[in-house]
């Protein structure tokens, strides 16, 4: 557990989701005050109320709307770190792309990251606050995958945004990094497994078994492992790291 965040305020965008909620709990357990931002306002408020410590808040945000991103950042007040973990997925070969689904995915996974980064960045610079951004990308943002072109493109783009943001903000004392999980044992992966099984044949259980054996560790990544990596990158323990991607993939990229 990372300690020493007693005076740290974190804003977690997509904070009411499966991975986001675990990130919020990790911040709170380390002593930070957490703003849970999510399109589901009631879920964000319930999570904020359940976190240990005082001062946590639930804030509504629609990351596909730049105006909502501005209002969300304003509602958070001063923050030390921003985590972007809003994300959705769908599977399809390029030739069979559903353009409405494609547009929705890019709007959430990439456009929203731009909108929220812009909104929080301007406030942090104006307040002359040192801090950090952490983006939840994916190993799918490091290499292409059949049937996942839109998702891969959004995650590749997220890394490009992060690196550019690091170049712009590091001179002002604001770091930007990304965490790239592999196959995480989560509802999102379960939905991907079901869609892939429907497209290729077989069952979702068989697909999940395949995912679990994709890495050297021969198991899925846990949500807690992802949250720990995010917390470390957001904390002063990683103060010398910016513009980098931390893989949490159980050896998926090395075999």
Which residue, 123, 7, 121, is CA-closest to 54? 7
Tell me the Cα Rg of the chain.
17
Could you tell me which residues come within 8 angstroms of residue 10 by beta carbon, excluding any fewer than 6 positions away? 24, 27, 32, 33, 34, 35, 79, 80, 81, 82, 83, 234
The catalytic position among 84, 102, 115, 151 is 151
Told to judge if 151 belongs to the known catalytic residues of this protein, a careful annotator would answer yes
Given the structure tokens 């690196």, which residue do they identify? 163
User: What is the C-alpha separation between 166 and 82, in angstroms, rounded?
Assistant: 13
Rounded CA separation 97/106 (Å): 13
Q: Which of 176, 219, 211 is nearest to 195 (CA)?
A: 211
List residues with catalytic annotation.
151
């Amino acid at each position: 557990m990372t300690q020493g965040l007693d005076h740290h305020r974190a804003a977690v965008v997509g904070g009411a989701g499966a991975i986001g909620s675990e990130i919020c709990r990790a911040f709170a357990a380390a002593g930070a005050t957490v703003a849970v931002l999510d399109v589901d306002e009631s879920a964000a408020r319930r999570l904020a109320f359940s976190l240990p410590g005082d001062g946590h808040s639930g804030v509504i945000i629609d990351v596909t709307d730049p105006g909502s991103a501005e209002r969300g950042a304003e509602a958070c007040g001063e923050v030390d770190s921003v985590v972007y973990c809003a994300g959705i997925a769908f599977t399809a070969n390029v030739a069979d792309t559903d353009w409405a689904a494609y547009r929705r995915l890019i709007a959430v996974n990439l456009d929203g990251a731009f909108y929220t980064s812009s909104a929080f960045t301007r406030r942090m610079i104006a307040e002359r606050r040192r801090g950090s951004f952490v983006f939840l990308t994916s190993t799918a943002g490091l290499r292409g995958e059949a049937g996942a072109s839109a998702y891969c493109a959004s995650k590749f783009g997220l890394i490009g945004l992060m690196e550019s943001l690091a170049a712009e903000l590091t001179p002002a004392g604001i770091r930007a990094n990304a965490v790239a999980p592999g196959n995480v044992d989560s509802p999102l992966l379960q939905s991907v497994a079901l869609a892939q099984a429907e497209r290729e044949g077989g069952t979702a259980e068989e697909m999940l078994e395949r995912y679990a054996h994709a890495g050297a560790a021969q198991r899925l990544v846990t949500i807690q492992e992802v949250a720990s990596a995010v917390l470390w990158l957001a904390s002063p323990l990683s103060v010398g790291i910016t513009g980098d991607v931390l893989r949490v993939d159980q050896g998926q990229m090395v075999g």
